[in-house]
Amino acid sequence: MVSAAATAFSKTAQRGMLSSMFIHPPKSSHITQHSTQLQTPTPLEKFKIDCKSSSGINTNDALTSFDNMLQIKPSPPISSFNKLMGVVAKTKNYQDVIFMYHRMVGADLLPDYITLNILINCYCSLKRVDLGFAVVGGNFKRACSPDIVTFTSLIKGLCLEDKIDDAVVLFNKIIGMGFQPSIWTWATLIKGLCRGGNAVTALRLYKEAGSSNGRSGLRFNPDLTCYATLIHGLCKEGLVDKGKQLFLEMKGRGIMPDLVTYSGLIHGLCEGGEWEEAKRFFIEMVDRGIRPNVILFTILIRALCKSGKTEEASGLLNLMIQRGEEPNSFTYSTLMNGFCMENRIDDAKNLFALMEAKGYKRDVVCYNVLINGYCKCQKLEEAMRLFNEMARDECKPTVITFNTLLTGLFQVGKVEDARALFTKMEVHEVTPSSSTYNILLDGYFNNNCLVEAMELFHTLERSGFVLNVETYNFVLDGFCKAGKLDLASELFERLPQKGLVPTVVTYSIMIQGFFKNNFHAKAMELFHTLERSGFVLNIVTYSCVLDGLCKVGQLELASELFERLFEKGLVPTVVTYSIMIHGFCKNGKMEKAYSLFLEMEKEGCAPNLITFNTLMHGFCSCNDAPKVVELLQKMAERNIFPDADEKLGNIIGDESNKSLQHLFKASQPTQEHAELNKAMRRRQACRVE
DNA sequence: GTAGGGTTAG
pLDDT in tens, A339-367: 999 999 999 999 999 999 998 989 999 99
Q: Is residue A139 included in any domain, yes or no?
A: no
Cα within 13 Å of Cα(A405), Cβ side? 29
Cα–Cα distance measured from residue A126 to residue A123, given in angstroms and rounded to the nearest whole number = 5
- A255 CA vs B5 C1’ separation (Å): 14
Which among A638, A583, A639, A572 is positioned nearest to A614, based on CA atoms? A583
Nucleotide minimizing C1' to CA distance for residue A407: B10
Nucleotide minimizing C1' to CA distance for residue A116: B2
Query: Which amino acid type is present at position A532?
Result: R
Q: Is residue A41 included in any domain, yes or no?
A: yes
Residues 6+ apart with CB under 8 A from A84: A50, A54, A57, A62, A65, A66, A69, A100
List the single range of A64-78, A279-293, A546-560 with lowest mean pLDDT: A64-78
The residue out of A48, A78, A110 marking a domain boundary is: A110
- A625 CA vs B8 C1’ separation (Å): 47
**Per-chain mean pLDDT for chain A:** 85
Residues 6+ apart with CB under 8 A from A233: A190, A191, A193, A194, A195, A199, A202
- A336 CA vs B8 C1’ separation (Å): 10
Would you place residue A18 in the very low, low, confident or very high pLDDT band (cuts 50, 70, 90)?
Answer: very low
Q: Is residue A146 included in any domain, yes or no?
A: no
Which residue gives the smallest C-alpha to C1' distance to B3?
A149
Which among A573, A581, A584 is positioned nearest to A684, based on CA atoms? A573
- A410 CA vs B10 C1’ separation (Å): 14
Q: Which residue has the higher pLDDT, A112 or A682?
A: A112
Which among A68, A89, A75 is positioned nearest to A18, based on CA atoms? A68
Nucleotide minimizing C1' to CA distance for residue A264: B6
Cα–Cα distance measured from residue A300 to residue A674, given in angstroms and rounded to the nearest whole number = 33
Residue A111 clears pLDDT 70, i.e. is over it:
yes
Would you place residue A135 in the very low, low, confident or very high pLDDT band (cuts 50, 70, 90)?
Answer: very high
Burial of A129 (0-12, 13-18, 19+ CB in 10 A): buried
Q: Taking CA A263 as the corner, what is the angle to CA A262 and CA A267, rounded to the nearest 5 degrees? A: 115
CATH number at residue A520: 1.25.40.10
What is the tally of helices (H) and strands (E) in chain A? 41, 0
Q: Is the dihedral of CA A565, A571, A573, A577 positive or negative?
A: positive
Would you place residue A62 in the very low, low, confident or very high pLDDT band (cuts 50, 70, 90)?
Answer: confident
Q: So what's the pLDDT on residue A686? A: 41
Residue A401 clears pLDDT 60, i.e. is over it:
yes
Cα–Cα distance measured from residue A441 to residue A121, given in angstroms and rounded to the nearest whole number = 41
Q: Is residue A560 included in any domain, yes or no?
A: yes
Nucleotide minimizing C1' to CA distance for residue A305: B8
Which residue gives the smallest C-alpha to C1' distance to B1?
A83
- A348 CA vs B7 C1’ separation (Å): 19
List the single range of A49-58, A148-157, A164-173, A445-454 with lowest mean pLDDT: A49-58
Would you place residue A666 in the very low, low, confident or very high pLDDT band (cuts 50, 70, 90)?
Answer: low
- A182 CA vs B3 C1’ separation (Å): 9
Nucleotide minimizing C1' to CA distance for residue A187: B4
The answer to whether residues A133 and A99 touch, using CB atoms and an 8 Å cutoff, is no
Q: Is residue A238 included in any domain, yes or no?
A: no
Would you place residue A624 in the very low, low, confident or very high pLDDT band (cuts 50, 70, 90)?
Answer: confident
| pLDDT digits 0-9 by tens, A275-290 | 889 999 999 999 999 9
Cα–Cα distance measured from residue A200 to residue A164, given in angstroms and rounded to the nearest whole number = 13
Nucleotide minimizing C1' to CA distance for residue A83: B1
**Most confident region among A1-5, A91-95, A168-172, A268-272 by mean pLDDT:** A168-172
Which residue gives the smallest C-alpha to C1' distance to B8?
A330
- A175 CA vs B5 C1’ separation (Å): 24
The rounded percent of chain A whose pLDDT value lies above 70 is: 83
Nucleotide minimizing C1' to CA distance for residue A334: B8
Q: So what's the pLDDT on residue A573? A: 92
Covered bases, chain B (protein CB within 7 Å): 1-10
Q: Is residue A338 included in any domain, yes or no?
A: no
- A599 CA vs B3 C1’ separation (Å): 56
Q: Supply φ then ψ for residue A292, to 5 degrees.
A: -65, 145
The residue out of A66, A83, A110 marking a domain boundary is: A110
Count: domains in chain A: 2
- A82 CA vs B1 C1’ separation (Å): 5
Which residue segment(s) compose the domain that A649 sits in? 509-684
The residue out of A59, A89, A110 marking a domain boundary is: A110
Cα–Cα distance measured from residue A539 to residue A137, given in angstroms and rounded to the nearest whole number = 52
